[in-house]
Amino acid sequence: MKRLLVGAIVASVLTLTSCDKKEDAIEIGFAGPITGFNAVFGAQMKRGAEQAVADINAAGGVLGKKLVMRMSDDVCDPKQAVAVANQMAAAKIPFVLGHFCSGSSIPASDVYAEANVIAMSPGSTNPKLTDDPKKKTIFRICGRDDAQGRVAGAWLAKKYAGKRIAIAHDRQAYSQGIADETKKAMNAAGLQEVLYDTVTPGEKDYSAFVSKLKAARIDLLYYGGYQIESSLIARQMREQGLEAAFMAGDGLGTMEFWTAAGAGGEGTLFTFGPDLAADPRNAEIVKRFTANGGNPPEGYTLYSYAGIQAWAQAVQKAGTTDPTTVAAMLRSNKADTVFGPVTFDAKGDVIGEPYVMYRWSKGAYAPLVE
């Protein structure tokens, strides 16, 4: 079964958050997985982006104009993402919040860079996204796999010294990136894995893979991948009596993991950025998300909020939406965001983005206390 069930690869229907584009408005773009296997992350992005636009507009807008948002679904599919990027470029959108999956963001970034459109991803962690020095308009508001891998790899080498570790991924850009960076850091710290393997994304039965883990007598599986495969593997490990620990990256920052894994997800470890919803500085913003019975923002919701905050403030300081000028402003000035002060380096990455170890237990995740 293919990971992405997409028929004809065509650009999604694009809509505005207001009925018509007006001369007194600034149109920005949103691109992410609104449908498909990773729609839960698209929903997080969309929720954060819409709240950011609403809050900015309530405070007077940007350059005296309201923001309207053009939305598009890339389904986390590379071809779809490129089609979306081409439509955004043709419409002369100055800024796009997106994409989410690294496998989509990386090819889409070629289009944005050539068309001089600022694209800022809230969730694409593969280093390749920002490593090309020619792409001056490409940014990310999240961390990178090499930074996340250093945290995970060092933790494994310390806590599981002398233990039997397996590392696996599903060959997607994000999945292989985080798995390989964790492996590299773990190996550099003196711990070698006993098994390195791959699985096929989108399958329902991973029992053969679990049998291989059992035969290797592992103490921990580090899995590079998204929440759906992670939940299935974790659950099937427990169903087959394998009590080895399960650990992954930031793709597990969603309740969808626990819903699918059930009790099999108990004790699962994963790395993610700081819990922005728990930061007292963001209390009023969180209240706006939870008003009228809404859930607290999880995962990449506030990352998306921060991305629009950073761009809007750079535009305000620059006095223009011109992408070249705004990109330079993003790199030379601090933005006041839900992260606190944010500065981007020459590559377009956030300077000093930390990672935290989390643990799933009883249907919720929280920072690991050791």
Structural domains in the chain, CATH included, are: 15-143+279-342 (3.40.50.2300), 146-272 (3.40.50.2300)
Average pLDDT over residues 184-189: 98
> Structure tokens of 41?
């992350």
Q: What is the mean pLDDT of the chain?
A: 93
Candidates 49, 94, 18, 116; CA nearest to 309 is 49
Cβ neighbours of 195 (radius 10 Å):
16
Average pLDDT over residues 253-261: 95
* Greater model confidence, 370 or 195: 195
Per-position b or e across 200-239, b if 16+ CB within 10 A of its CB: ebebeebeebbebbeebebebbbbbbbbbbbbbbbbbbbe
Average pLDDT over residues 160-183: 97
Share of the chain above pLDDT 70, in %: 94
Helix (H, G, I), strand (E, B) or coil at 340: strand
The string of DSSP codes covering 4-50 is ---SS--PPPPEESSSS--TTEEEEEEEE-SSSTTHHHHHHHHHHHH
Helix (H, G, I), strand (E, B) or coil at 324: helix
* Alpha carbon distances (Å) from 196 to 161, 183, 192, 199, 206: 17, 9, 10, 11, 16
Digit-coded pLDDT (tens) for 68-85: 999 999 999 999 999 999
Cβ neighbours of 290 (radius 10 Å):
13
Q: What is the pLDDT of residue 370?
A: 80
* Alpha carbon distances (Å) from 103 to 60, 232, 250, 260, 345: 36, 22, 15, 24, 22
Digit-coded pLDDT (tens) for 97-150: 999 999 999 999 999 999 999 999 999 999 999 999 999 999 999 999 999 999
Q: What is the pLDDT of residue 22?
A: 53
For the entire predicted model, the pTM comes to 0.90
Contact 150, 179 (CB under 8 A): no
The string of DSSP codes covering 72-114 is EE-TT-HHHHHHHHHHHHHTT-SEEEE--SHHHHHHHHHHHHH
Q: What is the pLDDT of residue 209?
A: 98
Q: What is the pLDDT of residue 241?
A: 97
The sign of the CA dihedral 149, 150, 156, 159 is negative
- Residues of the chain by 3-state class (helix, strand, coil), percent to 5: 45, 20, 35
- Bridge-based pairing state of the strands 340-342 and 269-272: unpaired
Q: What is the pLDDT of residue 353?
A: 73
Q: What is the pLDDT of residue 7?
A: 32
